[in-house]
Structure 1
C-alpha cells in the first residue's frame, strides 16, 4: 500500500519479515496434479466434498476430495489462524484510551512496515467509529491476541498431508497414522479454543515468502529444502509457504497464544491519500 501525505511524502507499507530474514535454498521438483479419491484421505469416510489445497485464501485450488467434516469442520477450526498468520493480521484487536469509555474493537489489524523498518498498523474491515477518537487522544492501549501457532501449524499439516496423498491414495505408515490422529482430534474438538496441541504439527519445518507471487504459480509443488548440508522433503503451497513432510517430534509444544497488551504513543494525525494497493 502506498500513501501520499499532504506534504508530498509517500509511505510504502508492505508485509516484511519482522526480524532480519534469512534466505533458504529450496529446489522445486514436481508439480503435483489433482487427484479425487473415493475415500477421504484423512478419515477414510466417503469423499463427498471438493477440497482446496492450500486454502483458497492462500491461492489454493480444488486438488482433492475429503469428507464434509474434514473439509469444513476441520477447516473452520484451524484455517482462520493460518490466513491471519500469513496476512500478518490480528483478529478482533481492542483499543482503549482515557478519551473513550470501554474497549473499542475492529475486525482485523494488519501489521505492515516500510523498507526503513518503520511499522504501520492498518485497520482492515469494520471498526468502531470511536477508535479514531481513541487514537487522537495520543495514548492508546492496544489489546490483541496473535494467531494461534498450534492451530495454523495444524492447518499447514493438513495441506502438506493432502499434498502427499495426491501421490498415494491413503498413506499407511506410522507417521501418516499420527498425522491423521492429530487432524481428527482437531476436527472433533468442541471449539477452536479446545483444539489439542499437536507436537507433530509444531515440529514441521516451515518457510514463508514475502515477495509477490505469480498468479499462475501451481497450487502444490513437491520441493526440497537445503539446510546446513541436509535436505528436507516437502511441498510449496501456492508459491507462498514451504512445509516439510517430516517433523521434529521433540519440538516444544506451545499452548494457546497469550493476549498481549501494548501501550502506544500516537503522534499528530496527518491526512493522506492511498495511491495504490497490491494484493
Structure 2
C-alpha cells in the first residue's frame, strides 16, 4: 500500500483524555460480506481497451497513489488525459482529503490557503484536521485567536466514480479480455467523453458511473495484498460481482443505471469554529 495518510489514530492528551479519530464518519451503514475469488494478473493489449488506439503507455490499475501496479497498457490520451481529469478526485476521496482549503480569522487580512488536508472524525461526530508540514504562521495565529472560518472542497463524486469505472473496466478486461456489446460500448463512451472534456470542470455527468456499487473498507488491515482481486459482495438478496481495488475498495462490474440519478453531494465545506486553548498530546496509535 502507498497510502500516505492514516486511516485512524489515537492521541493521549495532557489532561488524561484519549482522542480517537478515523477517516470513517460515525453514521449508520450497511455491513457487507465479501468473498475473494482470484487475483487478477497483468495482461498487455496491442490496442487500448478504452478507445482502440495503439496501446503505448503502461497503466497503473488502480492508480499508483492507491497502491496500484503497472497491469496493462493504454494509449497516451486515455492514460494521461483521462487520468488527469478524474483520478485526482479518486485519490482525494480514497485518502479523505479536503482541497482548496482557506482559513480566515479576525485580525488577519485576507484568506490563507493550505495544501490538501486529511479530514478525520471523532466517535462523537466531531471532526479533526491533520495540519502538517510548513503551515502559514497566519493560520496558527487564527487558531490562537479562538475564532476561524474554514472553507474547502470535497472530492467530486462524478469524477471519482468515473475513475472507479475506468479501473473496474480495465480489471474486467484483464480478467476476460476486451469485451464487446452494448454495455461495454456504453462504458467506453462515458470514459472517452470524460477524456475529451475541455478540462476537469467540464467532465460530463455519468449516470453509469454513479450507478456502480462502491464499498470502501476502512479497517486497519487491507483485505488483500494484490492490487486487483476478483470478488463477490453479498449485500441484500443478490450477490454482486466486481473487483477489489488495492485491497480496500470494491467496485461492481454492473451498474444500476438511472438517467435521472445525479451526485447527491454538496462539495463545498464551510464551517465556523470556536477554538479552545491548545492542549498538548502524544500519538499512541496510528492505523493505515
Q: Using structure 1 for the length normalisation, give the TM-score.
A: 0.92
Answer yes or no: is the 8 Å Cα contact 1:106–1:125 preserved in 2.
no
Q: Structure 2 regions of 5+ residues with no counterpart?
A: 1-8
Whole-Å Cα distance in 2 between the matches of residues 183 and 124 of structure 1? 36
Residue of structure 2 equivalent to 1:136: 144
Answer yes or no: is the 8 Å Cα contact 2:223–2:248 preserved in 1.
no
Answer yes or no: is the 8 Å Cα contact 2:155–2:267 preserved in 1.
no
Answer yes or no: is the 8 Å Cα contact 1:233–1:244 preserved in 2.
yes
C-alpha displacement of 1:155: 0.5
Residue of structure 2 equivalent to 1:100: 108
- Please provide the CA RMSD for this pair: 2.1
Q: Is the aligned partner of 1:260 residue 2:266?
A: no
Residue of structure 1 equivalent to 2:249: 241
Cα distance change, pair 126–81 in 1 and its aligned pair in 2 (3 A): farther
Q: 3-state SS of the aligned residue for 1:244?
A: strand
Residue of structure 2 equivalent to 1:33: 41
Question: Which of these residues, 189, 194, 207, is aligned with residue 202 of structure 2?
Answer: 194
C-alpha displacement of 1:187: 0.9
C-alpha displacement of 1:108: 1.5
Answer yes or no: is the 8 Å Cα contact 2:112–2:136 preserved in 1.
yes
- Mean Cα displacement is larger for which, 62-71 or 206-215? 206-215
Cα distance change, pair 36–113 in 1 and its aligned pair in 2 (3 A): same
C-alpha displacement of 1:81: 0.6
Whole-Å Cα distance in 2 between the matches of residues 80 and 218 of structure 1? 22
Q: 3-state SS of the aligned residue for 2:277?
A: coil
Answer yes or no: is the 8 Å Cα contact 1:209–1:241 preserved in 2.
yes
Cα distance change, pair 215–30 in 1 and its aligned pair in 2 (3 A): closer
Question: Which of these residues, 72, 86, 89, is aligned with residue 81 of structure 1?
Answer: 89
Whole-Å Cα distance in 2 between the matches of residues 224 and 215 of structure 1? 13
Q: Is the aligned partner of 1:17 residue 2:25?
A: yes
Whole-Å Cα distance in 1 between the matches of residues 229 and 163 of structure 2? 17
Q: Structure 1 regions of 5+ residues with no counterpart?
A: none
Matches for 1:32-181 after TM superposition, within 5 Å: 32-115=40-123, 117-181=125-189
Answer yes or no: is the 8 Å Cα contact 1:206–1:241 preserved in 2.
yes
Cα distance change, pair 258–120 in 1 and its aligned pair in 2 (3 A): closer
Cα distance change, pair 18–105 in 1 and its aligned pair in 2 (3 A): farther
Cα distance change, pair 16–257 in 1 and its aligned pair in 2 (3 A): closer
C-alpha displacement of 1:115: 4.4
C-alpha displacement of 1:117: 4.4
Q: Using structure 2 for the length normalisation, give the TM-score.
A: 0.89
C-alpha displacement of 1:16: 2.1
Answer yes or no: is the 8 Å Cα contact 2:10–2:283 preserved in 1.
yes
Matches for 1:203-222 after TM superposition, within 5 Å: 203-214=211-222, 217-222=225-230
Q: Is the aligned partner of 1:271 residue 2:258?
A: no
